[in-house]
A and B are shown apart, each in its own frame.
Chain A
């Protein structure tokens, strides 16, 4: 199975900060990667699919990039509602695998 790693595992940031989260695959996955946001007690929400495509209704401050093994989620200006845990998911082959998550909290 493809292993997904994320860094950092957690970060503290302030409103207005630019935040970058990295996801790395143990082998090439083309651009078959999604980014999800999860808030406590809620189901995950898709932000980015196909590595860089913004899901409908998601604010444009979220962006994704990368292909192959290295991917990045960027929040250009962190908003109060963005404090959450973020996960990457590879859907290149089976079994699909999530990264371990990155928790973004308030500095």
Chain B
């Protein structure tokens, strides 16, 4: 059974930092490009970032570029999102996912940025 389990979401103050993790199992993790997608409370989906299967290519939404860094450790079947200079508008449920026909999503981890 495919599983993606996110962790690391907490309440953090504006300007703070946080690292999200996503543990993958049940599929060949290093075959897949992986993504982070977020959803602010009561709002729509926002694509955040992508990393290629080998970590060689990364892309970001304009809203997080320069503040967030995506990475992966294929030896640990894990995906990460380092979030710096957090803003109140970064408050959201953060999903890790593989998109496209082989489409898997976690259940999300909640990040709240508030003073």
A interface residues with partner B (beta carbon < 8 Å): 1, 34, 36, 38, 43-46, 49, 53, 55-56, 85, 87, 89, 91, 94-101
Contact = CB atoms under 8 A, between A and B. Distances in A.
A53 B101 contact: yes
B59 interface: yes
B45 A98 contact: yes
Given A94-B50, A95-B47, A43 B103 contact: no
A101 B106 contact: no
A100 B40 CA distance: 12
Interface of B: 35, 37, 44-47, 50, 59-62, 95, 97, 99-101, 103, 105-108
A96 B50 contact: yes
15 contacts: A34-B99, A34-B100, A36-B45, A43-B95, A43-B106, A43-B108, A46-B101, A55-B101, A56-B101, A89-B45, A89-B99, A95-B61, A96-B35, A98-B47, A101-B45
Given A95-B60, A95-B61, A49 B44 contact: no
B59 A43 contact: no
B109 to A, nearest CB: 12
A44 B37 CA distance: 10
B60 A100 contact: no
A36 B39 CA distance: 14
Contacts of B97: 43
Which of B45, B61, B100 has most A Cβ within 10 Å? Answer: B45
B47 A97 contact: yes
A100 to B, nearest CB: 5
A99 B100 CA distance: 16
Contact of A49 (B37, B62, B100): B100
B63 to A, nearest CB: 9
Contacts of B46: 98
- Per CB-CB distance, the 8 closest pairs between chain A and chain B, nearest first, are A43-B105, A46-B103, A94-B59, A96-B47, A101-B44, A98-B45, A95-B61, A100-B44
